[in-house]
Structures are given as C-alpha cells and as structure tokens.
Amino acid sequence: MSITSKPVQLVRYRWDLSAIPADAAQVSKPFVLRAAGDQQIEEAMAIVLASYNLDPEWSGCALHIKDNVLPGVKKALTKEPTCLFVYHGNRIIGVSVYDCAPEENEVHLVSGACVQTEYRNRGIGGALLAATLEGLKARGLSEAFGHTRPNSPSAKYLCPKFGGTKVTNPIASPAPAALA
C-alpha cells in the first residue's frame, strides 16, 4: 500500500538577527538546552522525523519530509554540526538543526524547532528558535530565513517571535507523488 502526499504550501519567514534579545534562549528547569555532538546525527534525525510525523499540521506531507526536510537535516549536519538539543533528564525532547550557509532559495532553519508532542506548549520551541537565531548571529549572519506551513500554530505563534516577518514569495514543494 502506498502513502500519498499532497503538495506542501510553505510560508517563508525572515528574522533580523540584530534584534534578537540576549537572554531569549532559556528553558526552564528541569529542561537543559545544549549543542549536540558530532556523534548524535542519528538521534537528531529521529527526533526531527518523529516531530513531523506526529504533528497533525504536517499530516499528508510525507513526501516533503522524506525528500526535503530529512536530506536537508543530514546535509546541514554533514557540513557543520549545527544542532541544538533540549534534554529532560537523559531524554532528548527537542532539536533544532540549522545551516549557516544554505544554498540559494534554501533556509537557515533547516528543521525548525522540533519538540516531542508531549512537551509542547512549555516554551521549549521558543527557546530552541532563540538559540538557533543566536547561533546564526554568533557566526556573523545578519538575517536568517525559515519556513513553515501557513496558518499552522508555528506560523501563528512561533515564527513571529523575535521579530520574524513573512516574506512575500511563498514556497511550494514538488507535485504530489506516492510513497511505496
């Protein structure tokens, strides 16, 4: 049985990194935010995949995730280990993968703030976004780009944080296909 995938409409966001508050990337206890190690690529991929697969907003977007998100994560982590984790004890509950030098028309926020479903709505996504933007700023960038689904909770609440503004040119994924 094949899994169908529909075209994915995305809205692009831009952040002016000079406007990022210095103390925005803090998570409350008992959570811990830190950079991931080189050996944790597979863990990062698993959290990103689980986050997208369990998010109803991304339902029906399996082809986009398989063909765009996961290869983008792998490529970014192969170029430079730019990945942040949020831990609850020994468990990784959130991840953000970013690319300091994306190719043309690609985004800096490769995975976005991916948080396990049961840990959402606790400020973890906002802290991951802030830490990602701070990481890009520390590497000398003045602006950053990311994308999400229009009208999603991410588009309504997370992306506008820290001055994120919609960019007028929407992004569409390739035509739908079936996954075997």
Range among 7-11, 73-77, 81-85, 106-110 with highest mean pLDDT value: 106-110
**pLDDT at residue 179 greater than cutoff 80:** no
Residue with tokens 């998100």: 69
Closest CA to 111 of 158, 60, 166: 158
Could you say which DSSP state residue 158 is in? I
In this structure, are residues 11 and 172 in contact, taking their beta carbons and an 8 Å threshold?
no
The 10s digit of each residue's pLDDT in 24-65 is 888 889 999 998 876 788 888 899 999 998 888 888 888 888
**pLDDT at residue 180 greater than cutoff 60:** no
Q: Residue 26: its pLDDT value, please?
A: 87
What's the rounded Cα separation, in Å, for the pair 146 and 164? 9
* Domain positions in the chain: 3-179
Across residues 110-124, what is the average pLDDT? 93
Averaged pLDDT score across all residues of the chain? 86
In this structure, are residues 170 and 12 in contact, taking their beta carbons and an 8 Å threshold?
yes
Ranges assigned E (strand) in the chain: 3-4, 9-16, 31-35, 83-88, 91-97, 114-115, 143-148, 165-172, 178-179
Question: Phi and psi (nearest 5°) for 165?
Answer: -125, 145
The 10s digit of each residue's pLDDT in 125-173 is 999 999 999 999 999 999 999 999 998 889 999 999 889 999 986 454 4
Across residues 80-92, what is the average pLDDT? 90
- The class that CATH gives domain 3-179 is alpha beta
